Amino acid sequence: MGEYRKIVGNAGRALMMCCVLLGGVAAPSIAAHQPPRTTAAQDGFVPVDTLPPEDRLPAAPLLVAAYSVAWVAIMIYVWSLWRRLSRVEREMATLGQRAGEPDRRGARH
């Protein structure tokens, strides 16, 4: 058991050293690929009215259209469920009447 711990301990140390070395090598290259810092004027609030037309997004019409499509789909689905449930209820009522009626021979089903 002592030999196993020694091997696992050495492997763990080796893995830790690899992580430290890779982190030391990778950190500067990751930092070099960060986007440049912006000025306070670029990060601040800009009213939509002052934006040029090419920077404005037509989000409101698209949002209304997406919600409309979703609600229409939900309504069609609910209507479909209602129809199918009504059909099943009619069939169950029919079966209940048939089960309650005597057979032609006078025996019940």
pLDDT digits over 23-55, tens only?
665 556 666 666 666 654 566 777 777 777 777
Q: Does residue 10 belong to any structural domain of this protein?
A: no
* Token digits of residue 15: 């893995």
Supply the range of the domain harboring residue 70. Answer: 59-103
Highest mean pLDDT (candidates 21-30, 48-57, 70-79, 88-97)? 70-79
Under the banding of pLDDT at 50, 70 and 90, the label for residue 7 is low
Q: Give me the amino acid identity at 97.
A: Q
What are the tens digits of pLDDT across the range 51-61? 777 777 777 88
Q: Does residue 49 belong to any structural domain of this protein?
A: no
* Token digits of residue 41: 């004027």
| 19 in Cβ contact with 27 (< 8 Å) | no
The 3-state DSSP composition of the chain as helix, strand, coil percent (nearest 5) reads 75, 0, 25
Q: Does residue 20 belong to any structural domain of this protein?
A: no
Q: Which of the two residues, 77 and 32, has the higher pLDDT score?
A: 77
Domains: count for the chain: 1
Measured distance CA(61)–CA(71) in Å, rounded: 15
